[in-house]
């Protein structure tokens, strides 16, 4: 009953937290300079300075050669809904336009924010899910092996490799892999494609051909995705298992006649997984959001790249829609971590939290 009460409290806490995050970011997009109105006016001023068709277009918009009329600026504010009070704008964004998903993009004609986001979700989920499972599939067994062979040669060599991978920034690793394995530098290997997520097939591919082609395109980006997570997760698993092995209850199990193998796998291993579960919440949001830098380097049409393009182009309709999704997944992921705690260790008491 106490756990159910805790889950209900956490679910209720998600609502004000989400509202607080979106309110602050929404207000910033309205007060910071260089918004969509200013960007549109700058483009129109640039058109008015080129003559010919540019002057005609500017004249139709009510512009002079070098100045923009106040009337046109008011029309833009009305078009974007910026003429309303701030609380009304936020209500329209949150409720009427469903967290901004139904708003038209400020930068892409005839597209709503949801249409743009929806087109990028499959790619981000594909890369995020593959990175997520590969990270845990490799790091947990590696951390266990390092703990069982603590201070041996395997532990030292694997620690060196893990720390080198962690020390290299993801964007630097992406550039090195792209130059060395994608044929961008003459004389080096041309094994993987320069970017994208799929090839152009003359005929519809079979399921196996599609899978192999997708794996071929995603190999290098996924290596960059997981390189930074390897060290943290591996060492967390190793240190957690070492702490459990040195605990009194493990020595008690062995003293009562249990084998060391039984003590580790039936008792220590489950408790060692508790700290590792803390990363599941952030990994859930990363699965859907992706990495801006890696997606730009490998030209992956994911949501990370979409958020970067929206922010640079001041397309706040798309940016706020992505922010709402990111905040939702992060809050759900944090709640999921607590539920995993309960499954791994039923002794955890949430009655005072």
In a domain, 349, yes or no: no
Let me know whether 297 and 268 are in one domain.
yes
- Asked if 147 and 238 touch (Cβ cutoff 8 Å), the reply is yes
Task: State what percent of residues in the chain have pLDDT above 70.
Answer: 86
Of residues 345, 295, 321, the one with CA closest to residue 126: 295
**What is the DSSP-derived secondary structure letter of residue 97?**
T
Q: Crossing angle for the helix pair 269-276 and 316-344, nearest 10 degrees? A: 160
Q: Chain-centre distance of CA 73, in angstroms? A: 36
CA dihedral 228→234→236→241, nearest 10 degrees, is: 180
Tell me the helix, strand and coil percentages in the chain, rounded to 5. 75, 0, 25
Let me know whether 73 and 150 are in one domain.
no
Q: 150-159: per-residue pLDDT in tens?
A: 889 999 999 8
What is the secondary structure of 13-70 as a DSSP string?
HHHHHHHHHHHHHHHHHHHSSS-HHHHHHHHHHHHHTS-THHHHHHHHTTB-SS-B-H
Stretch 293-320: mean pLDDT: 88
CA distance 225 to 283: 11
- Asked if 112 and 104 touch (Cβ cutoff 8 Å), the reply is yes
pTM to 2 decimal places: 0.80
Q: Coil, strand, or helix at residue 190?
A: strand
Number of domains in the chain: 2
CA distance 232 to 105: 39
In a domain, 321, yes or no: yes
Stretch 141-146: mean pLDDT: 91
Q: 90-108: per-residue pLDDT in tens?
A: 999 999 999 999 999 988 8
Stretch 262-278: mean pLDDT: 82
Domain residues for the domain of 204 are 115-344
pLDDT at 88 over 90: yes
Let me know whether 232 and 282 are in one domain.
yes
Please state, rounded to an integer, the average pLDDT across all residues of the chain.
Answer: 82
**Residue 50 has what pLDDT?**
54
Let me know whether 101 and 153 are in one domain.
no
User: How sure is the predictor about 59, in pLDDT bands with cuts at 50, 70 and 90?
Assistant: very low
**What is the DSSP-derived secondary structure letter of residue 112?**
B
CA distance 190 to 192: 6
Give the contacts of 198 (CB within 8 A, at least 6 positions apart). Answer: 210, 213, 214, 217
Let me know whether 78 and 152 are in one domain.
no
**Residue 296 has what pLDDT?**
86
Final residue before a domain boundary, out of 84, 113, 142 = 113
């Amino acid at each position: 009953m106490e756990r159910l009460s805790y889950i209900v409290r956490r679910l209720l806490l998600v609502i004000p937290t989400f509202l607080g995050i979106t309110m602050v970011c929404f207000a910033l997009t309205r007060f910071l300079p260089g918004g969509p109105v200013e960007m549109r006016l700058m483009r129109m001023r640039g058109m008015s300075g080129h003559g010919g068709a540019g002057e005609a277009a500017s004249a139709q918009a009510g512009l002079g050669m070098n100045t923009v009329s106040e009337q046109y600026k008011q029309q833009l504010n009305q078009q974007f809904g910026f003429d309303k009070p701030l609380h009304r704008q936020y209500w329209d964004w949150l409720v009427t336009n469903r967290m901004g998903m139904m708003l038209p993009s400020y930068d892409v004609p005839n597209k709503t924010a949801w249409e743009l986001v929806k087109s990028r979700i499959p790619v981000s989920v594909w890369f995020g899910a593959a990175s997520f499972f590969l990270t845990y599939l490799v790091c947990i067994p590696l951390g266990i092996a390092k703990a069982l062979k603590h201070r041996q040669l395997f532990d030292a060599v694997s620690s060196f490799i893990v720390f080198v991978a962690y020390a290299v920034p993801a964007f630097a690793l992406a550039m090195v892999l792209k130059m060395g394995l994608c044929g961008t530098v003459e004389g080096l290997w041309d094994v993987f494609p320069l970017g994208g997520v799929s090839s152009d097939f003359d005929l519809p591919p079979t399921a196996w051909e599609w899978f192999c082609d997708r794996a071929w395109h995603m190999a290098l980006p996924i290596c960059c995705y997981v390189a930074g997570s390897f060290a943290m997760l591996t060492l967390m698993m190793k240190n957690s298992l070492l702490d459990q092995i040195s605990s009194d209850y493990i020595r008690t199990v062995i003293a009562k006649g249990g084998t060391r193998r039984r003590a580790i796998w039936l008792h220590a291993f489950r408790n060692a997984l508790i700290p590792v579960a803390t990363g599941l919440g952030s990994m859930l949001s990363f699965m859907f959001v992706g990495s801006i830098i890696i997606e730009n380097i490998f030209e992956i049409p994911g949501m990370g790249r979409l958020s970067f393009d929206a922010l640079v182009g001041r397309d706040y309709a798309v940016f706020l829609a992505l922010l709402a999704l990111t905040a939702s997944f992060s809050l759900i992921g944090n709640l999921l971590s607590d539920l995993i705690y309960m499954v791994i260790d039923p002794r955890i008491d949430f009655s005072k939290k």
